[in-house]
Structure formats: C-alpha cells, structure tokens
Amino acid sequence: MAFADARTGVAAGNGRGGFTTSDGGRTWVRSRFPFNSRREVQLDGAPGLITESAFDSRSVALSDDGGRSWRFLAFPPGYEDAYAEPGRGGTLRLSADRVNHGYEHYVSFDRDRTWKRVRGLLAEVAPFAPEGEETWAVEKRADGVLWHSTDGGRHWTEVRPRPPTTR
C-alpha cells in the first residue's frame, strides 16, 4: 500500500487487481493493474506520484492519479533491479544495476520529463531525501561521508570537517 498524499492511495490486491482511494482510505475502488500483484509489489508514494518497482527487473511503473492509470519507464537490455523513489514536487529518483558496471542513478525534478544522471561519489548516496529544498544524504561507504544540498538535490556539497559525534 502507498499513499501519494493524505487522500490518494493505492493497495495491491491479487493478480492484476488492486484498490485505489481518493478519500484517505474511507472508501476503496477496485482497479486493474498493468503488473501482476501476486508477485512482490513495492509501492512508494509522494504527493502526486506513486511508483511500483518490483514487477519487472528493468522497468518501473508510475502513476500520477493515485493508481488509476500507469505509465512505464524501462531501462534498455543490460540493466536489472530497476527502482523508482518519488519525492515531493515531482522529484523522482530512478536507479538500476548496469550489469558488470554497477548501479546508475538518475534524478528528475519535473515528474520524469527530463533526467539528470547522478555521477561520481553521489551515485552511492543513500537515502535520497527529496522531501524539501534542504536535503541530507550519507554515502554508502565505510567512512560514511555526509552530503548536503540546499536545492532539493540538484547540487551537493560534501560536509567537511565531519560533524562531531553526539552522545
């Protein structure tokens, strides 16, 4: 189950069926999904956008209307483990494993109309936190470098010296 906002949400059912709500879960309408929800379903939601990332290893499904209709983003052959993570204001992070090359990460700030590849050290940053203009992330390495963005993740600054530990 995922909610895009306080009122709009989607819940996986079985097979190609599921349910959507537009009143905060008080009532649910049966919906037909373009993916099989009998397998693992990974729904994520943010205001105005719901994603499903587990139905196909190279594709992700996106819904702008609370799960009533879906569109797909697919990586070309040679990619697997595709994952989409929605954020506020139409922000969307898309990742996939380019076989024998490692993961590639992309970010869109306009609901997937345009994309920017996140390269270098930031390609290993998690979690991506597009919830506002100020964003923090910790790099997935042993030293756990801290990164900071003041524009919702468009530009990043490595925080040095590292902040002191707290008890």
pLDDT in tens, 51-67: 888 767 888 988 888 88
Per-domain residue ranges of the chain: 2-118, 125-167
Q: What does the block give as tokens for 19? A: 């349910």
Residue 115 CA neighbour count, 13 Å, CB half: 13
Res 27: pLDDT: 92
Q: Between residues 11 and 124, which one has the greater pLDDT?
A: 11
Q: Which residue intervals of the chain are DSSP H helices?
A: none
Residues 6 or more apart from 149 whose CB is under 8 A from it?
134, 135, 136, 137, 155, 156, 157
Pairing relationship of beta strands 135-139 and 125-126 according to DSSP bridges: antiparallel
Q: Is the pTM of this model over 0.75?
A: no
Decide if 66 contacts 52 (C-beta within 8 A). Answer: no
